[in-house]
Structure 1
């Protein structure tokens, strides 16, 4: 015999109504007994997947379970009643949630707005309830960092043939990242903490002639990804002109004096038009003649 129940004009199977009542009783149970176990923080990458594990103490035989998203609004994500999992709730995770046999919740593909707290309410066959809260943080993949080299101006007090360098590492449009430096070709990092500034984003190094081939690598990372950029700073310390080519310094030494000479020549042509050509000489002669001739009286 198939029993049905009528609620507000809708015909529901009796087992469906019992499952709904069980769901609401569990939610009321949690409301009156709010004690919860806070689990670890779980990290995921945009576009990837993450597994939210439901932890059960020894001897805890789960009969019913409820997964909920607590932020930005409280939503049912998945439930488990009498051996039947359900993930078709109209939450923002519809089509992206999967409830495993061990009652762990898988989410994929992850979106930036998925970060937040999740709770799972577990009830065993003896009527005991256990609530676990997990925090999900979804991160973007870090991009390739940009390393810039800044050379200090040499002074008399500076040892000869040395180069003081500031290396700046930057990853655009990313938060929650850390910076670290490595001197390549060494067994250890070789970086003194006193040489790091701006939370490790800037590194100060002193280079000598023996460091021409030494490279430094900057690593940017977050809990789900990392990327590296490498630079050889000595190349920025001494720019030598290639054979057959003119260096920037040589160009300045030639162009500046020529420009000054042309400017002076232009000024002389303005103030002394008599020296600017034959035509100007005739004009000058015509202008001077009336001044030197004496009229006859």
Structure 2
């Protein structure tokens, strides 16, 4: 608890409470939490929403570890941290920019600020850094089924370089999920199947053209005749 101009000020669960001798006035000044997703190698510009002239000092933290300070004369200081060499100050917005993001930069960023009238609401940024998708591949396998005079098709979509990926099929078939199975007849000709893979920071697509042809398996009689003719030709 801190004293500001005769008021007792405390932060409880994100609510600023003023204790006044004549009574109690509770001012809701909830912490603002923003969720952000960024790709590995990109930059993230933190811009807290403070009106001009309301902040005289701000302290930036990452997972409760101090990594940057801002003062009212628009100067920044950057103590040694995991972000050393990757920070820039946004002098007009009290913000900071973290460059060349890495997966270990995922976590909770917060800015605690003071102004002419005391502490202002803390702003929190929950950040998730993910690897982007580098490529998408479609694997296919199809077999001819005599009973149905059609092909059983099994396709699988795989995204390279990323995790937590969702898949969406379009074109000849519409579905979700990495794997898709269906039947394709020769009469349908060539069909195109598209797979789009996506995560929170990227998306990429691949296409595959499929067709089903009638297979003519060789019978035992034909195989024997071919073998016999081949033997005669060899003897000649």
TM-score range, shorter chain: 0.7 to 0.9
Unaligned runs of 5+ in 1: 1-24, 26-31, 185-189, 241-246, 263-297
Picking from 140, 153, 157, the partner of 1:149 is 140
Kindly report which structure 2 residues correspond to 1:48-197, keeping only aligned pairs within 5 A, or say none: 48-56=42-50, 61-70=54-63, 74-100=64-90, 101-152=92-143, 154=145, 156=147, 158=148, 160=149, 162-172=150-160, 174-183=162-171, 191=174, 193=175, 196=176
Q: Based on CA coordinates, which of the two structures has the bigger radius of gyration?
A: 1
Unaligned runs of 5+ in 2: 4-9, 15-30, 232-236
Equivalent position of 2:28 in the other structure: none
Report how many aligned residue pairs link the two structures: 201
Q: Structure 1 length as normaliser, TM-score?
A: 0.59
Q: Structure 1 residues 254 and 172 mapped into 2: Cα distance closer, same or farther (>3 Å)?
A: farther
CA RMSD in angstroms comes to: 3.2
Matched, 1:40 2:34: yes
Indicate if the aligned counterparts of 1:220 and 1:226 stay in contact, CA closer than 8 A. Answer: yes
Indicate if the aligned counterparts of 2:135 and 2:161 stay in contact, CA closer than 8 A. Answer: no
> How far apart, CA to CA, are the structure 2 residues paired with 1:45 and 1:80?
27
Higher relative contact order structure (alpha carbons within 8 Å, sequence separation ≥ 6): 2
1:207-248 deviations in Å (ceiling 9; x for gaps): 2335322111111111221211111121xx3388xxxxxx9x
Q: Structure 2 length as normaliser, TM-score?
A: 0.72
1:91-146 deviations in Å (ceiling 9; x for gaps): 01111111212122211111121111111112222114211111111111212122
Indicate if the aligned counterparts of 1:63 and 1:125 stay in contact, CA closer than 8 A. Answer: yes
Indicate if the aligned counterparts of 1:43 and 1:50 stay in contact, CA closer than 8 A. Answer: no
Q: Describe the SS at the equivalent of 1:33.
A: strand
User: Which structure shows the bigger proportion of residues in strand conformation?
Assistant: 2
Q: Describe the SS at the equivalent of 2:85.
A: coil
> How far apart, CA to CA, are the structure 2 residues paired with 1:113 and 1:85?
27
